[in-house]
């Protein structure tokens, strides 16, 4: 049972990565900086899942849960940035331009990333991709934790 749960959790992260790449390459929705941040823990979770399959270890399983919780946290933070609940990194959000001089404004425009973190490029049922990542990744974390509990 433990191996099956680990495979399901790792496959879930792999599916999330395939979905993100599908949106990027087929949906022509390039990722922002924070979108990339959400991908790294999924990649780690897939690798941890493969390792755990061949070398069953409760510590590895908890690392998989930590990876899923990390991407969920980043997704929640990103979703809040998109909704204007809090400021995001200045490297990928617009921020206020009221106090900027013309030269400073031009510099900000010229150095701005192609994709901003504070815009929602796609949503379903009022939930952005970052929001869906948070929700689904929490579910994956629960599967990892369930696998760890079966390991005892």
Looking at residue 116, its pLDDT comes to 72
Packing angle, helices 2-25 and 58-82, rounded to 10: 30
Buried b (16+ CB within 10 A) or exposed e, 11-20: ebbbebbebb
pTM, to two decimals: 0.80
Tokens encoding 114: 């192609």
Residue 80 has a CB neighbour count (10 Å cut-off) of 17
Confidence of residue 13 (pLDDT cuts 50, 70, 90): very high
Looking at residue 93, its pLDDT comes to 59
For the domain covering 2-87+100-150, report its CATH number: 1.20.1550.10
Gap between the terminal Cα atoms of the chain: 12
Which runs of consecutive H residues, i.e. helices, occur in the chain? 2-25, 33-54, 58-82, 102-111, 129-150
Most confident of the following: 51-60, 104-113, 114-123: 51-60
| Each residue's pLDDT tens digit, 66-117 | 999 999 999 999 898 888 778 777 666 555 566 667 777 677 666 655 677 7
Which residues are within 8 A (CB) of 111 and not within 5 positions of it... i.e. 6 or more apart? none
Query: Domains of the chain: which residue ranges?
Result: 2-87+100-150
Mean pLDDT confidence for 48-56: 91
Backbone angles phi, psi at 74, to 5 degrees: -65, -40
């Amino acid at each position: 049972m433990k191996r099956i749960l680990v495979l399901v959790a790792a496959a879930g992260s792999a599916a999330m990565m395939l979905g993100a790449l599908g949106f990027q390459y087929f949906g022509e929705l390039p990722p922002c900086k924070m979108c990339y941040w959400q991908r790294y823990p999924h990649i780690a979770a897939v690798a941890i899942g493969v390792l755990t399959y061949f070398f069953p270890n409760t510590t590895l399983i908890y690392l998989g849960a930590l990876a899923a919780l990390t991407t969920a946290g980043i997704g929640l933070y990103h979703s809040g940035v998109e909704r204007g609940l809090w400021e995001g990194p200045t490297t990928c959000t617009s921020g206020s331009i009221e106090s900027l001089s013309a030269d400073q404004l031009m510099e900000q425009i010229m150095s701005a990333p192609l994709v901003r973190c504070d815009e929602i490029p796609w949503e379903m049922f009022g939930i952005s991709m970052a929001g869906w990542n948070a929700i689904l990744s929490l579910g994956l974390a629960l599967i990892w934790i369930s696998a760890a509990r079966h390991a005892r």
